[in-house]
Amino acid sequence: MIEAQALCKRFGAIAAVQGVSFHAADGRITGLLGPNGAGKSTTLRLLYTVLRPDAGDALIDGVSAVAAPLEAARRLGVLTHGAGIYPNLSARENILYFAALQGLPAAAARARTAELLRLLEMEEFADRRAKGFSQGQRVKTALARSLVHRPQNLILDEPTNGLDVMAVRSLRELLQRLRGEGHCVLFSSHVMAEVAVLCDEVVVIGSGRVLSHGTPEEIRTRTGTAALEEAFVALIARGQG
Amino acid sequence: MRAILIVFLKEFRENLRERRTLYTALILGPLLGPALFAGLLALQLHKGVASSDRALPVAVAHGERAPNLIAYLTEAGAQLTATELSGDDARRAVQRHRYERLLVVPEQYATSLAAGAPAPLQLYTDASDPGAAGDSERLRALLAQYSARVARLRVVARGIDPLLLNTLAVQDIDVSTPVTRSVLLLGTLSYLMLLTMLMGGVYLAIDATAGERERGSLEPLLTLPVRRAHLIFGKILAACAYMLLSLILTVTAFAILLRFTGLERLGMSINLGPAVAALLVLYCLPLVPLGAALMTIVAAYTRTYREAQSYLGLVLLVPTLPLVFAGVLGLRPTLALMAIPSLSQHFLITSLLRDEPLPLSFVALACGATLACGALLVGIAGRLYRREALLG
């Protein structure tokens, strides 16, 4: 479970996040929806402990990301924006490196890595150097390495960026499967259709504030629109007005 | 602590696969430095040995006005070329390197000589041409000898003992040993050693910070439940490992190479056997973490790989600056100076090669002070990795 409590973050004169609160429950997929520059990435960075909030707190399974960042980080799997991996290591080595840093014993790390390679259908390129990987292969590698320690919570920053239809579909299936296993999945996106298909809960964010929070259904009714996209546009317009 | 080791092993292995790192750390530095040095040395040997046997080329204008002098110079091994140049033409000919040196005999030479007055001669040389300076010195010595001979003949002709002309009998005793004569060479040697050692860690320092950020792999790393200081310590440690490898290879290359250069022919010798080589590496060891931390800190402040590269080019010079000062000011090791990192290593290296060991207190201070500075910089690097701006 991930809980944002009145998170605030400024970069110089710019207030990127201004009092964002929401919670993402276990066994549900929560989408953080907003236009570019709305503060999605900054919010996620505050949640996954890379940035410290100026005010507010983030609780990961009840552990404060401010007071105990390492404890909180241990409960998280994170797919960062752009999915940067090491070009001189193979996919398997990239995953094993993170497994080691997560504190997994060597034998367990190898077994878990093999399992993920199978699960994500990566065996074909598992032992190739990552230098020439396609974006899809890179995202898969980054995803596998974020899941290697079986985190209860998964945060993904725009995971479908640059992926083709097939890759998006297999990512979707994976997230649904994780939901089925009772994990908490939180991802950001600016693609409406994706959020509509996948999410149980939607947090609409604009100009660093939460504009609306609820199931896609609730949001549609609340804004009096038929499609989520229209609801989104209406919310953004209202938020900026 | 385990994280430091994991990061170190990964960085070490990953960079073994990076041609650029391998090339600079293990090939370019350790081979180029010694090769350059050996080339320089061979050239110097060639010049030093050859010039005393070589004919002495001198251009002479109006040699017919001083037949005895010309005969004397020819006999002494000078290779004379007759020209008609004088005045400004003579000056220009030497300036433009048509002749290395030009001796002009003026019209009044013969009459002055006959009258017992100082006979004028004009010698054009270019003191800024190091290749010609040695031979010009030889010519001056010949002219002085000739002058002394004529003076003796004049005194004898007047019935006076020519020994009266010798007021002083100076005995010139050179106390330099073959080893100490190679001071300049030793300075260059220690400079090259320290430089190649630093170069070994450059790409790793860049890659671990600016490179990792540019690839987008830094942020995922920071999401892990690992202290950031431990991440950077692991990276610094990997840079240290490459610097150490580079250092060992360089010293080994020098040790092998110096066996094949004829230093003894110049009356010099350098003490660089296996035991000394091992001690050299040991003395340079304290400087390794300092250099690695310094480069990592600078690279961590830059935004891109390219920017880091250009800054580190400058940083490479910083630890070698004290050596330059030491060379220019002719500094000798004192206890206080041993507290300055890199200068102290320079002193330790040269003293070892000269076979004049410094007191143990000097060695202890050098190692202690350098290690302390290194620890300070490593600490700063650790704090630097806690900054949020690191993400760029």
* Domains within chain B, CATH numbers bracketed: 2-45+182-391 (no CATH), 54-165 (3.40.1710.10)
Q: Which residues contact B332 (CB under 8 A, 6 or more apart)?
A: none
* Percent of chain B residues topping a pLDDT of 70: 92
pLDDT of residue B174: 65
With bands split at pLDDT 50, 70 and 90, how would you rate the model's confidence at B266? low
Terminal Cα-to-Cα distance of chain A (whole angstroms): 33
Asked if pLDDT for residue B49 goes beyond 60, the answer is: no
| Average pLDDT of the residues of chain B | 84
Q: Hey, are the CB atoms on A50 and B223 less than 8 Å from each other?
A: yes
Contact B219 A81 (CB under 8 A): yes
pLDDT value at B349 more than 70? yes
Domain with CATH 3.40.50.300 in chain A: 2-75+151-240
In the prediction, which pLDDT does B181 show?
Answer: 59
Q: Which of residues 141-160 of A touch B (CB under 8 A)?
A: 142, 145-146
Mutation target to probe the B interface, by most B beta carbons within 10 A, among A2, A17, A42, A50 is: A50
Distance from CA of B14 to the nearest CA of A (A): 6
Question: Which pLDDT value is given to residue B276?
Answer: 87
Q: pLDDT tens digits, residue range B283-333?
A: 999 999 999 999 998 888 888 888 888 888 888 887 778 777 877 777 888
Three-state SS for B96? Answer: coil
> Which pLDDT score, from 0 to 100, does residue A148 have?
96
Q: pLDDT confidence of B187, banded at 50, 70, 90? A: confident
CB–CB contact B216 A83 (8 Å): yes
For A72, nearest residue in chain B (alpha carbons): B225
Of B2, B17, B219, the CB nearest to A88: B17
Q: Do the chains contact at B220 and A97, CB–CB below 8 Å?
A: no
Alpha-carbon distance A179 to nearest alpha carbon in chain B (angstroms): 22
Residues of B at the A interface (Cβ-Cβ below 8 Å)?
2-3, 6-7, 10, 14-15, 17-18, 215-227, 388, 391
The CATH homologous superfamily of the domain defined by A2-75+151-240: P-loop containing nucleotide triphosphate hydrolases (3.40.50.300)
Indicate if the pLDDT at residue B96 is higher than 60. Answer: yes
Here the ipTM equals 0.92
| pLDDT of B42 | 74
Return residues 201-240 of A near B (CB < 8 Å): none
Do residues B105 and B66 make contact, with C-beta atoms less than 8 angstroms apart?
yes
Task: State the pLDDT at residue B263.
Answer: 63
CA dist B332 and B193 (Å) reads 20
Over residues B241-256, the mean pLDDT reads: 90
Q: When comparing pLDDT for B183 and B219, which is higher?
A: B219
- Beginning with the edge strand found earlier in the chain, give each strand of the sheet holding B56-61 in spatial order: B78-83, B56-61, B101-104, B122-125
Residue among B223, B228, B232 with most chain A CBs within 10 A, to mutate = B223
Which residues on adjacent β-strands are paired with residue A21?
none
Of B314, B313, B371, nearest to B342 by C-alpha is B371
Q: Please name the residues between 23 and 82 in chain A that touch chain B, using a CB distance below 8 Å.
A: 45, 48-52, 70-71, 73-74, 76, 78-82
Q: What whole-number distance in Å separates Cα of residue A156 and Cα of residue A146? A: 10
Taking contacts as CB-CB distances below 8 angstroms, the residues of chain A near B10 are 86, 89, 97, 100
Task: Report the gap between the CA of A206 and the closest CA in chain B (Å).
Answer: 23
User: pLDDT category, B50, cuts 50, 70, 90?
Assistant: low
Spans of chain A, pLDDT less than 70: 240-241
Per-residue pLDDT band at B170 (split at 50, 70, 90): confident
The DSSP element (H or E) to which B4 belongs, if any, is helix B2-16
Q: Chain A residue with minimal CA distance to B211?
A: A86
Among the partner residues A71, A73, A100, nearest to B223 by beta-carbon distance: A73
Torsion from C-alpha of B247, B249, B255, B257, nearest 10 degrees: -120
Give the residue, A9 or B254, on which the prediction is more confident: A9
Beta strands in chain B (DSSP E): 56-61, 78-83, 101-104, 122-125
Chain B CB contacts of A161 below 8 Å: none
